[in-house]
Every structure is written in structure tokens, then in C-alpha cells.
Amino acid sequence: MDLKLGGKYKIGKKLGSGAFGEVYVAKDLNNDSEVAVKVESNRTRHPQLLHEAKLIKMLKGKGIPELKGAIIEGDYNVMVMQLLGPSLENLFKMCKNKFGLHTTLMFGIQALERVEHIQSLDFLHRDIKPDNFTIGNKKPSTVYMIDFGLAKRFRNPKTGQHIPWKEGKNLTGTARYASLNTHLGYEQSRRDDLEGLGYVMLYFLKGKLPWQGLPAKTKKEKYDKIKEKKKMPIEDLCYKLPKEFSKYLNYCRSLNFEDKPCISDLRKLFKNLLSKKGYEYDLKFEWLNKKPLKTIKYVEQEEEEPDYKKKLKAIFDH
């Protein structure tokens, strides 16, 4: 398939899928290198992919996937980008649903760098979760932030004007990791991505968050129960964990809507905890001991080729 992006790509196995499209590995037939191809139907109610491609191009930096190109092809929006390794959710499951303090802190420090980078460029991610962090395909000690389909500009880059406070908003993102203010229907700002990252770290350390698996008959009931559970005291949520985690979450909750978080201080908080516990920031993550990483399944592959992929062959194959 000629994507008119300076190369030809042949579609391979499916890597994953979600609300905003499907991701496949593909081969650049010009040089035999592998890339990732994300595809969404442009007939969907709220197309996100071309918006995401523009953002990835703008957010270029360490830990952000490299954009190779994006086009509209028939009924599909197509984005070609750097092929990355497994998500942190995949790696977490591979490590039997538990990361140690050393790995969790090193992840947190890198993830804070990614959040700081996109916020410096006036954007919020708005869907912080383990699935939206991956490791590098060739650099498995580098954490990447992915999936910017829900990202939003929080400040006008020319005037510095912050977006206005709003109430009554529907929940945007993933309920398990959403901030309390997001559940309360408030417009998201910089503090909310940071609070979500705090919940991701607790999930890694504890293996499960207190609001997981709550019985509910409807999505609204489920979200309401999660919201109420998140009102528990931070100290109870962080019980038996180093005090730095409750300090982190209390700081996130203390921020006002337009406040600029001091992310360098938060990174220092976790770096000091590493040192206090006798660890080094050596990037020796637990998943590096699991070999080979490339055998990790991203998704269960269908036994029969789905109709969606058959349609895609018209785009990707010669």
C-alpha cells in the first residue's frame, strides 16, 4: 500500500484496539523496518485520529512516539508511527499484577517527565492509565506516553489564557484512574493528570485499587460508587505505603484549578524515596528480567480474520 508518505507498508498482526481505532504492526517495504499503524473509520461519530496525529507532531520529544505520517484513505483515517513495546498494563500482568517499589518509583519519575513535557506545551492528556504508557521497542527502559485522542489544550499558547472553570462535565477518561474532581464533573486541568498518575502508581504497588470490582447495574451507578470510594482519606488509601505517596496525592488534591504544579519537586520526592530505600535510579525495571519481551501478547488474536481487517487489506496490501 502506498500511503503517499514516502514509503509502502504491509499490514501485519493486530496489536490492540480501543474506543478510537485499532493498531497493527506493519512493515516498511522500502527498508524492512517495522512501524505501528493506527486506523479508525472516518464514519465514526467523533473521529479522533487526525487530531491525535497533529498533537503527536506538536508534542515531539523524549518519550513521545515519532509520527511517520497520517492520511485519509477511503473510509479510514490512518496514522503511521514509531513501533513501541508492550504497555505498562501488559508488563504489569506479566509480573503477576505487582510491581515493587523500585520499579514503580522509576516509572513514576519518567511518567512525571512526560506529563511535565506535554503540560509545558499547554496540553492535558486526560486519560492517564497503565495502557497509555508503553516501553520502547528497542529501549525497554524508556517509558513512552501514548494515545492522545482525548488530549486537550488547557491554555492559549499566544495569550497564556487558561481555559475557564466549568461544572457539570461528563467523565472524560477512564473511571478507575480519573481524579476526584473529574468524577465531580469539573473541567480538568493540570492537577487531574497528576492525580490520575498517583492512582496508577498505587495500582502497581497494591495490585488493585479499592474501587475496582464494585457491583453496579449501570455505568452511572458504577461511576457514582467509584466517586464515593475516592472520597476516602488519602492516608487510608495509602495505608502501609511510604508517606511520600500520601504526600503526593494530598498535594494534587490541594491544587487550585489554574495552579501550575511543581512537577520537579514531585520527581525529587520520589528520587529521594529511592535513595532513602537504598535504591538507585538505574533503570533496571522488573520487566527486563522477563525474556523475551517481544513474546508478550498485546491482545488475543482472533482465530478467523475479522471483517474489519479484511476491509483494511484493500488499503494496506498491494
Per-residue burial over 226-235, b = 16 or more CB atoms within 10 Å of its CB, e = otherwise: bbeebeeebe
- By three-state DSSP, how is residue 128 classified? coil
Cα 192 to Cα 139: distance, rounded to the nearest angstrom: 29
Residue keyed to cell 497494591: 206
> Residues with Cβ < 8 Å from 240, sequence gap 6 or more?
none
Q: Active-site residue among 2, 75, 127, 147?
A: 127
38 annotated to bind ligand: yes
Distance of CA 212 to the CA centre of its chain: 19
Cα 47 to Cα 67: distance, rounded to the nearest angstrom: 18
127 is catalytic: yes
Give the phi and the psi of residue 53 in degrees, each rounded to 5. -60, -40
H/E/C letters for each residue in 274-287?
HHHCCCCCCCCCHH
Amino acid letter, 176: R
Residue from 240, 226, 143 nearest 183 by CA: 226
Catalytic residues: 127
Binding-site members for ATP are: 38
